[in-house]
Amino acid sequence: MTGQLQAALAVSTVIFTLRPDPASDLSTLWLPLVRRTREPHLGQWALPGGDLPADEELAAAAARTLRETTGLTPKYLEQLYTFGDPGRSPGGRVVSVVYWALVETGEAALAVVDENVQWFPADRLPPLAFDHNRIVEYALWRLRTKVEYSRIAHAFLGETFTLAQLRDVHEAVLQKALDPANFRRTIESSGTVVDTGQRVAGVPHRPPRLYRYNDSVNATDLGPFGPAIG
Amino acid sequence: MTGQLQAALAVSTVIFTLRPDPASDLSTLWLPLVRRTREPHLGQWALPGGDLPADEELAAAAARTLRETTGLTPKYLEQLYTFGDPGRSPGGRVVSVVYWALVETGEAALAVVDENVQWFPADRLPPLAFDHNRIVEYALWRLRTKVEYSRIAHAFLGETFTLAQLRDVHEAVLQKALDPANFRRTIESSGTVVDTGQRVAGVPHRPPRLYRYNDSVNATDLGPFGPAIG
């Protein structure tokens, strides 16, 4: 492992949250983009990110550049994929290690928003710098695959939630309507959620039950080494 | 994305196959290692891999260095994870993009084996160069998580297989005995395998049924962009 090519390394992050789509009023996925202030792709929208300093962990660099550009500090970032096509950057080869996180609406609302940082619906992005449209496409595919078998939907919800709220997350991620009765049966038989015995307050007749995730299921989501950042 | 640190980049591969453990005669996971012929870690065992040339795709570089060191040419390699701790290599920072593949026993038998290339049981590795023990630990964790919900066990089996052969794969990966009746119920209710209507030839009484994977289930394993290498 000596004598390797000296290549440029960068980190980027894809941060998803759920918000209503103003066009349909249905929940949909949004992500923050940062306007580039230098060449190449000056003025174009890009994923938050930056260079990898020599002495910084990959996940720490991803968290720092995300914080510096958007003010967002997710509880943890997960490594998504490394993109390294030789032609992906016009100024010479750049290998980008991409991290991602899902954040609750309340956390997303803490982000900086100005003329150079804005949130976009994931399915209606402008042409992004570099191969960042492709990176978002990959992240959406992973999210849609993962929501089927893991507790990933939890990241968008509070500690407790109704089955309707959980179904809303699944519908937004999968971009299709789900039958309420089928969804209830599938979730209840999966053992991934637990009835808290409580109900939504302030609803007079048949208030919906509140559920929480079953911590004993799929607790390995973070990998064998724990969260990438504390 | 200009002005990044110029860092050293490498690719490595983790190749798993199933073989009997000589100690127990039960199937277990094995992987090929290559003895290092230069510093650092001269003489120590390491994962197959090498430098990333400026004009080569990541997956292509992983496939090429695997072929050059071991003679193995898996049908496709999947990106596993990128390891980039600042202290992981004594000669300066090296960021390694790690790929992995599962190969059938027959394919594994085509590999070069000499004093510098040997297969080791995954749970009894010697101390490896760099952080390669940690990389194998991560790969094992991903394999064990993934075998529960995907058709990944298929990679170790032929086109058709008995439920006992499929259970043997799951037992080897999970390193625990599984109850045959429970395993049969779980697999049959999952819809992931299809009864071919055929039975194992040459078995006189009650020959076991042959199954194949249901191609319509989990066909997205390879990701939205298809196989990393053709």
Q: Is residue A60 part of a domain?
A: yes
**Across the interface, do A5 and B53 touch by the CB < 8 Å criterion?**
yes
Q: Which of A23-32, A66-75, A129-138, A219-228 has the lowest mean pLDDT?
A: A219-228
Q: Say whether both A130 and A32 belong to one domain.
A: yes
pLDDT at A153: 79
Q: Say whether both A97 and A42 belong to one domain.
A: yes
The Cβ-side half-sphere exposure at B31, using a 13 Å CA radius, reads: 29
pLDDT at A33: 97
Chain B: closest CA distance from residue A100 (Å) = 14
CATH label of the domain that carries residue A209: 1.10.10.10
pLDDT at A159: 86
**Across the interface, do A2 and B81 touch by the CB < 8 Å criterion?**
no
- pLDDT tens for A18-41 read 999 988 888 999 999 999 999 999
Q: Say whether both A36 and A85 belong to one domain.
A: yes
Amino acid at A87: G
Question: Is the four-CA dihedral B54, B56, B58, B63 of positive or negative sign?
Answer: negative
pLDDT at A148 over 80: no
pLDDT at A221 over 70: no
Using a CB-CB cut-off of 8 Å, the residues of chain B touching A220 are 141, 145
Using a CB-CB cut-off of 8 Å, the residues of chain A touching B81 are 79
As for how many domains chain B has, the answer is: 2
Q: Is residue B219 part of a domain?
A: no
Range of the domain at A29: 8-146
Chain B: closest CA distance from residue A84 (Å) = 6
Q: Say whether both A87 and A39 belong to one domain.
A: yes
pLDDT at A205 over 70: yes
**Across the interface, do B1 and A8 touch by the CB < 8 Å criterion?**
yes
**Across the interface, do A5 and B52 touch by the CB < 8 Å criterion?**
yes
| Of B98, B196, B183, B179, the residue nearest B148 (C-alpha) | B183
Q: Give alpha helix (H) positions in chain B.
A: 58-70, 105-108, 132-146, 163-174, 180-190
Strands (DSSP E) found in chain B: 6-20, 27-35, 45-46, 49-51, 78-83, 94-102, 117-121, 193-199, 209-213
Q: Say whether both B105 and B134 belong to one domain.
A: yes
Q: Say whether both A119 and A51 belong to one domain.
A: yes
pLDDT at B130: 95
Q: Is residue A87 part of a domain?
A: yes
Q: Say whether both B16 and B66 belong to one domain.
A: yes
Mean pLDDT of the region A167-171: 92
Q: Say whether both B161 and B132 belong to one domain.
A: no
CATH label of the domain that carries residue A72: 3.90.79.10
- Contact assessment for residue B177 and residue B171, using Cβ atoms and an 8 Å cutoff: yes
**Across the interface, do A145 and B4 touch by the CB < 8 Å criterion?**
no
Nearest to A1 among B81, B94, B223 (CB): B94
User: Which residue did the predictor score with more confidence, B108 or A146?
Assistant: B108
Q: Say whether both A60 and A168 belong to one domain.
A: no
A–B interface: beta-carbon pairs under 8 A: 127
Using a CB-CB cut-off of 8 Å, the residues of chain B touching A129 are 1
Q: Say whether both A66 and A121 belong to one domain.
A: yes
Run means of pLDDT, 10 residues per run, chain B, 230 residues: 63 95 90 94 96 92 96 91 91 91 87 92 95 96 80 82 92 92 89 90 90 69 49
Chain A: closest CA distance from residue B168 (Å) = 23
CA-based nearest residue in chain A for residue B56: A86
- Contact assessment for residue B111 and residue B18, using Cβ atoms and an 8 Å cutoff: no
- Contact assessment for residue A110 and residue A72, using Cβ atoms and an 8 Å cutoff: yes
pLDDT at A217 over 70: no
Considering chain A, what is the average pLDDT of its residues?
Answer: 87
Mean pLDDT of the region A176-183: 93
pLDDT at A34: 97
pLDDT at B116: 94
Nearest to A52 among B4, B52, B81 (CB): B4
Q: Say whether both B181 and B116 belong to one domain.
A: no
Q: Say whether both A142 and A155 belong to one domain.
A: no
ipTM: 0.83
